[in-house]
Structure 1
Amino acid sequence: MIQIICKSESYTYNAYHILKAFYPSQEVSCKTDEEASNYVTVQLPDGQEIFAETENLQTEKKRQTDLNLYDQLEKITGEPLAWGVLTGVRPTKLAMQKLEAGWKKEDYIRWAWESARVRKEKAVLAWEIAERERKILEELDYEEGYSLYVGIPFCPSVCSYCSFSSGPLDRWKEKVDVYVDTLCKELEFIAERSKNKKLNTIYIGGGTPTTLTAEQLERLMGWIDEKFSREHLLEYTVEAGRPDSITEEKLKVIKSHGITRISINPQSMQQKTLDAIGRKHTVEEIKEAYALARETGFDNINMDIIAGLPGEDISDMEDTLAQIAQMKPDSLTVHSLAIKRAARMEMRDLHRDVKETHDILSGMIEKAAKTAEEMELFPYYLYRQKNIAGNFENVGYAKVDKAGIYNILIMEEKQSIIAAGAGASTKIVLKNPIPMPGSKKKKMTRLIRQENVKAVDAYIDRIDEMIERKGEWLWH
């Protein structure tokens, strides 16, 4: 157990996540004591105490305290964190802000180190991705354009590491049809409210959208065709995801509706790993599904893999990458394993200490980056997650003309993304900042979030409420 005592509640969030990054398998508790003599006091399991202080001006206290805490923890553990004290999920957003402000690459790299202890190689990666993102997004109209997310919260089975709003199809089989009906009702409302806007991208995700039958897919996609204009559409993605949900009939339905990009996500090409994490399919089925998608005519296929899955070492990752390279996907997304509270797997299930985790993840990520380069795939988007193993990141690599526009938009938050379905999260980007709803400190924001309820049955029962809530902010 690690105990954190903060002089002010404003210090607890960063202190907690910095400690969890250094000690991912340790339980960490926080409390506030306004009478404490130090801004942050940490009691480590071995009895050692750390006192984080700063002598800087008031406006710098929080940042300098974070850096002081970080520097001491790095010295104690001997392991630097790749992203330093950054706790947010969008480090490229910072790089983009500096790029748009006219900064030079060298100035950003120096600033990233001095202000957050970001290692040089990660700062370079963030900057280069921001440059690619900026070029890709140039043709979008942020104010008049928008993207559409459609959520299908079902999977053939739930992977042990998963924390998304999804459930096994067997549990909800009797309600899938009514779920699609309810989803179409929400989509019709969105289409009506958005008819004067420009739809740039559509993303059908989940879960696993291809758990729907071919008939259900036809009904959903036909409805989208009927209700939404494609005049300004640049990209249409469907997460085919699990190979055990893909059939020739479903792929033909998807192709017939003009979908331009799909994902077939193995996560690993090691059968022992697939079995261990609850993936009910074989490595051979991954290859068969991929070949079937190519035969059906898809020329933009993404594949996802995860670095750091339990039981895997660098040689397993090398073999996975070698098999994927033979298939030649158009893009490859490399995730670092993140264990969240909603997942069945826990960090302690990995049976690795901090140094071992860091070394294995670092090696895997380096191998993935090298293989992607050899496949002529270049990094085009990046994000991080809380409780991510080794404090690393998730990176999307793609051929020059096959980058996922929606993926960039979800990270950079420059354009409104209107989301439908159970657990779907709408993000409305405003032209001018307004007081943040519910903020006691009267913070200003240009981003309004609207969350749909996660439970499938609650979504079906409360769809009118979801529509009404969306209508409060959606364009009139």
Structure 2
Amino acid sequence: MVNLFYPFSDIEFIEEEMKDDNTLCVEVNDNEVIISYELDSYISKIDKKCRVKEEVKKSIFKYMNKITGKKLAWGTLVGIRPSKKALEKLEEGISEKEIIRDFNERYLTSKEKAKLCIDVAKWERNIVNKDEKTISIYVGMPFCPTRCAYCSFTSNPISSCKTIVEPYLQCLKKEIKMMSKYVREKELNVECVYFGGGTPTSINNEQFEDVMKSMYESFIENSNVKEFTVECGRPDSITREKLMSMKEYGVHRISINPQTMNDSTLKLIGRSHDVKSVVETFKIAKDLGFDNINMDIIVGLPGEKFDNIEITCSELEKLKPHSITVHGMSIKRASKLHENLVNNKKFEIPKQDELNKMYERTVNMSKKLDMKPYYMYRQKNMVGSMENIGYAIEGKEGIYNVQMIEEKQTIIALGADAVSKVVFLNENRIERFANVKDVREYIKRIDEMIDKKINLLDSMYN
């Protein structure tokens, strides 16, 4: 709770006898929570109907809200999948009005955010998986053209990994082939195939075409896949040839991710493309016949203010993509951005009031483009305690995104650092297996990765 209001601060818990005038003290007894700091104190009565832990969180939240003046619309709700709570309540037959009241009373969540959870849950209810033999496939590419300042993923700048790219691709194709064989033997139904990363398009044209062909022959050809998505990523790695390969091998949905439409920010965060190339790449994709194009943007990028998000939203309104994913800036400890913020270097994050206005602008953009929210998740260390949310024109929603977030479908994940999830629907249980992160280790241990994945899947499908 304290970190929500004081991000990037170290919080130290100390013994009572070590406290001094600068110590924030929280005392919990049978009837109340007492918070004291310096000469100030705050007392909150405990609601006997609620868990004590929830009451303590609410008390600290209210006190921090009082002394900082920050308005955090999600309240004490910090879980990754808030829409899941709304979906469960809708399934129980609880009314929208009651759900909104429960979110507010239990978590201090605003009416707008509670309604957002309900809107997303109502759409998800129609698509969330209900069949254990229906699965999705994730294929990961752990390379990128360069490493962005905010990135903490296992992505390797491809210029420094040239000697291992081809061995990695050979191992990836082997894993694709073996898992395709397993899927066919067990008569599993593949709903979605998602090619992500890293940046799948960071490899050269020939290598990309080869991987696309392998994925198509293994999972797409002669099947009933509903959605084949390629996260194309940055325009500096997307070529006409790669887009043509995607068309040839049956890709339904692509994502072109500018993150911002401000050249100065792109340079600051370590991207080697400009806004003009984003527009050109988008137009090439449309000219080639792609009719389901997503674009990702980030709210809260270092150095950006409301005027910057206004430019980004205005440019996307001109392009008219079929869906937009709005991410809140998440400051991961393994990123360069976190290091620079801690060391008070050149990066600066917008204040809370401005972040709220920036998010509101993205909501207005979605309405102008006639899009509705269809999936949502939250992350730790998000600036402004906001959310990541997908908006789409009706019929252009990303099915894989919903299945991945709601965790009701088994996902077989291939590639370095890819995490497979086997969902036992009848037992309400999930088992996971993660491939090793390091690309060289993945290459050395590919047979081990395949065998362990099959063993996990056998616990479900044998």
Aligned to 2:452: 469
1:29 to 1, 4, 12: 12
SS at match of 1:228: helix
In structure 2, how many angstroms separate the alpha carbons of the residues matched to 1:164 and 1:321? 26
In structure 1, how many angstroms separate the alpha carbons of the residues matched to 2:421 and 2:307? 40
Aligned to 1:110: 101
The code of the aligned residue for 1:183 comes to L
Cα contact 2:146–2:270 (8 A) shared by 1: yes
For residues 252-308 of structure 1, what are the alpha-carbon distances to aligned partners after superposition, in whole Å with 9 as ceiling and x for unaligned?
111100000001100011000000000001111111111111112111100011111
For residues 384-436 of structure 1, what are the alpha-carbon distances to aligned partners after superposition, in whole Å with 9 as ceiling and x for unaligned?
11000000111111110100001111111111111111111111111333xxx
Aligned to 1:91: 82
Aligned to 2:250: 258
- RMSD in angstroms over aligned alpha carbons? 2.5
- Pair 448,31 (structure 1): closer, same or farther in 2 beyond 3 Å: farther
1:144 to 105, 129, 133: 133
Aligned to 2:356: 362
- How do 1:76-475 residues align onto structure 2 when only pairs under 5 Å count? 76-137=67-128, 140-195=129-184, 196-228=187-219, 231-346=223-338, 347-348=341-342, 357-433=351-427, 446-474=429-457, 475=461
In structure 2, how many angstroms separate the alpha carbons of the residues matched to 1:74 and 1:37? 16
1:67 and 2:50 aligned:
no
- Residue 193 (structure 1) shift: 2.4
For residues 354-398 of structure 1, what are the alpha-carbon distances to aligned partners after superposition, in whole Å with 9 as ceiling and x for unaligned?
xx6211211111111101111111111111110000001111111
In structure 2, how many angstroms separate the alpha carbons of the residues matched to 1:189 and 1:228? 11
Q: What is the percentage of aligned positions where both structures have the same residue?
A: 41
- Residue 197 (structure 1) shift: 0.9
Count of aligned residue pairs for this structure pair = 442
- Pair 303,37 (structure 1): closer, same or farther in 2 beyond 3 Å: closer
In structure 1, how many angstroms separate the alpha carbons of the residues matched to 2:334 and 2:115? 33
For residues 445-466 of structure 1, what are the alpha-carbon distances to aligned partners after superposition, in whole Å with 9 as ceiling and x for unaligned?
6111211111111111122222
- Residue 247 (structure 1) shift: 0.7
- Pair 24,49 (structure 1): closer, same or farther in 2 beyond 3 Å: farther
- Residue 42 (structure 1) shift: 7.9
Cα contact 1:38–1:53 (8 A) shared by 2: no
- Pair 38,466 (structure 1): closer, same or farther in 2 beyond 3 Å: farther
- How do 1:13-52 residues align onto structure 2 when only pairs under 5 Å count? 18-30=1-13, 38-39=27-28
In structure 2, how many angstroms separate the alpha carbons of the residues matched to 1:48 and 1:426? 52
- Residue 184 (structure 1) shift: 1.6
In structure 1, how many angstroms separate the alpha carbons of the residues matched to 2:227 and 2:209? 19
In structure 2, how many angstroms separate the alpha carbons of the residues matched to 1:164 and 1:263? 18
Q: What is the TM-score with the length of structure 2 in the denominator?
A: 0.90
In structure 2, how many angstroms separate the alpha carbons of the residues matched to 1:49 and 1:461? 60
- Residue 141 (structure 1) shift: 4.5
- Pair 62,274 (structure 1): closer, same or farther in 2 beyond 3 Å: same
The code of the aligned residue for 1:67 comes to K
The gaps in structure 2 that reach 5 residues or longer are 17-24
Q: What is the TM-score with the length of structure 1 in the denominator?
A: 0.87
- Residue 58 (structure 1) shift: 9.9
- Residue 84 (structure 1) shift: 1.0
- Residue 324 (structure 1) shift: 1.2
In structure 2, how many angstroms separate the alpha carbons of the residues matched to 1:273 and 1:41? 44
- Pair 73,175 (structure 1): closer, same or farther in 2 beyond 3 Å: same
In structure 2, how many angstroms separate the alpha carbons of the residues matched to 1:351 and 1:95? 37
In structure 1, how many angstroms separate the alpha carbons of the residues matched to 2:347 and 2:216? 49
Higher mean Cα deviation, 395-404 or 78-87? 78-87
The code of the aligned residue for 1:157 comes to T
- Pair 109,213 (structure 1): closer, same or farther in 2 beyond 3 Å: same
In structure 1, how many angstroms separate the alpha carbons of the residues matched to 2:15 and 2:47? 22
- Pair 350,379 (structure 1): closer, same or farther in 2 beyond 3 Å: farther
The code of the aligned residue for 2:269 comes to I
Cα contact 1:302–1:330 (8 A) shared by 2: yes
Aligned to 2:19: none
- Residue 472 (structure 1) shift: 2.5
- Residue 53 (structure 1) shift: 7.7
In structure 2, how many angstroms separate the alpha carbons of the residues matched to 1:425 and 1:49? 48
The code of the aligned residue for 1:297 comes to G
The code of the aligned residue for 2:241 comes to E
SS at match of 2:424: strand
The code of the aligned residue for 1:262 comes to I
Cα contact 1:268–1:305 (8 A) shared by 2: yes
In structure 1, how many angstroms separate the alpha carbons of the residues matched to 2:138 and 2:90? 28
The code of the aligned residue for 1:38 comes to E
